[in-house]
Amino acid sequence: MSPPPRPAFNSLGSGDRLISSTSGSPCVVREFIGAGGQGEVYSASLDGEEVAVKWYYPNWCTPSQRRSLEVLISKGTPSERFLWPSDLVSQPGSPSFGYLMPLRQKRFRGMTDLLKGRIDPTFRARATAGLQLAHSFLQLHAHGLCYRDISAGNVFLDPTTGDIAICDNDNVGVDAEGIGGVMGTPDFMAPELVRGQSLPNTQSDLFSLSVLLFYLFHVHHPLYGKRLLQIRSLDLKARIKLCGEEPVFIFDESNTVNEALPWEKDPTGEAGANAFDLWKIYPEFLREKFTKAFTVGLKDPKNGRVRETEWRMVMSQLRDDITYCPNRHENFVDRSARLWGTPPTEGAGELPPTDPCWVCSATVSRPPRLRLGKTWVILNADTQLFPHHIDPTRLYDYSQPVASIVQHPQDPSRWGIKNLSNRAWSTTAPDGSQASVEPGRSVSITLGRRIRFGTVEGAIAA
């Protein structure tokens, strides 16, 4: 165990007044929210607005901590997904300090709740969370910053939508600029950091991102396989070995010393039974990325790691590859499966049968797709299209849907795509006849029909 911090002999009390550095506004402490490794977090009100205050333990109230906070505050938040420090606060007569940040909304739940099985977001919500995580890391890195202490404890998500919020950003630092500070939780640190051979940088963050994503989809750590069963006391030393000195991916086909075991072989699940069950239900393109991240990526920080942009693409494809079995379980239509070959030409060729449902073994009927250039979107009753799909200048824009799937009001057996945008589409049938689809109108989902959304044309295929 690393030396624990000194206790907080100066914790705040409800009603305490703090002074914020730049605005000079008084900030009144409300309630204690929780204690962390470096300080305590309270809710507070600042000019009538609810905010959160992180108040450091005395041993963390150092000039260097203050300076790095000042850097973060002046840089400003990379995006609204970060609960970013907005101002320093102090208490008259006390050498201690803290900082203000937005209060996390109630709709967010911890990634730890997901790991404890208290929330069970859909695959679509998980992929959305993954997409937002990758995007947030990209924005952070674009600001010349990197994480020193990212873990499941910092990531929060709205279980319904998959929206994320990233907490505890005070350990963000300037890329590759080492100061003593926190190094992170071995479970989420790149091996070269665990071994103490490198300082946190963008490459090490890419590793942490992969671990977070692996957890999100497999509810298990990618390096915790059957070797766990030999470890009595899972202390820091053991974690350093598993995550730093001798890391081996639990699905490394060329080295099975640490392979994931199924429930029959390890009823405790410590050796990765969760991951064992889930690994095979995802599309090949997801497995490929994880395999890269945790094989070559373990050893080659520069070239071996999966980049945020790659993850972003993978996550958005995952969202578009979900379909449902008759019992409403989500299943993936694997666009990378060899059977499917290259996407069939529009209207021609049928997709091969899908696998039985991974949960209930029911037959999963072959869903229609909307082909968009080289990619596609599976059309389910709850599918929505976003600017991401139909406007190449707005990739990864999922802010407002531009289309949804609807049933014909008079004939529910007829399905259509409804135009939720504010511009008309045009549509062409296989017989060449054309029509305009004004905002608010819908167009039938029929084989071979083409729909032009501005610059992008889609075609409906089986």
Ligand X SMILES: Nc1ncnc2c1ncn2[C@@H]1O[C@H](COP(=O)(O)OP(=O)(O)O)[C@@H](O)[C@H]1O
Question: In the window 114-153, what residues touch another protein (CB under 8 A)?
Answer: 114-117, 120-123, 126, 151-153
Largest separation between any pair of C-alpha atoms in the chain: 82
- Residue whose CB is less far from ligand X, 40 or 334: 40
Residue 289 interacting with ligand X (CB under 6 A): no
**Under 8 Å CB-to-CB from 52, ≥6 apart: which residues?**
33, 41, 42, 43, 44, 83, 100, 101, 102, 103, 104
Residue 405 interacting with another protein (CB under 8 A): yes
Contacts 24+ apart (CB under 8 A), 358-363: 358/281, 358/329, 358/331, 359/325, 359/327, 359/329, 360/325, 360/327, 360/329, 362/325, 362/326, 362/327, 362/329, 363/325, 363/326
Residue 5 interacting with ligand X (CB under 6 A): no
List the interface residues with ligand X, window 65-84 (CB under 6 A): 83
> Could you tell me the sign of the dihedral formed by the alpha carbons of 386, 390, 392, 393, in that order?
negative
List the interface residues with another protein, window 19-78 (CB under 8 A): 34-37
Minimum CB–partner distance for residue 106 and ligand X (Å): 10
- Residue whose CB is less far from another protein, 237 or 299: 237
- Residue whose CB is less far from ligand X, 37 or 454: 37
- Residue whose CB is less far from ligand X, 34 or 412: 34
C-alpha 351, offset from chain centre: 30
Q: Of 15-23, 32-40, 367-375, 379-387, which segment contacts ligand X by CB under 6 A?
A: 32-40
Neighbours of 77 (CB within 10 A): 20
- Residue whose CB is less far from ligand X, 60 or 376: 60
CB-based contact 448:426 (threshold 8 Å) = no
Q: How many residues bind ligand X (CB under 6 A)?
A: 17
Q: Of 73-81, 83-91, 217-225, 332-340, which segment contacts another protein by CB under 8 A?
A: 217-225
Residue 383: burial class (beta carbons within 10 Å; 0-12, 13-18, 19+): buried
Binding another protein by CB under 8 A: which of 28, 360, 395, 456? 360
List the interface residues with ligand X, window 84-123 (CB under 6 A): 101, 103-104
Q: Which residues bind ligand X (CB under 6 A)?
A: 33-39, 41, 52, 54, 83, 101, 103-104, 153, 167-168
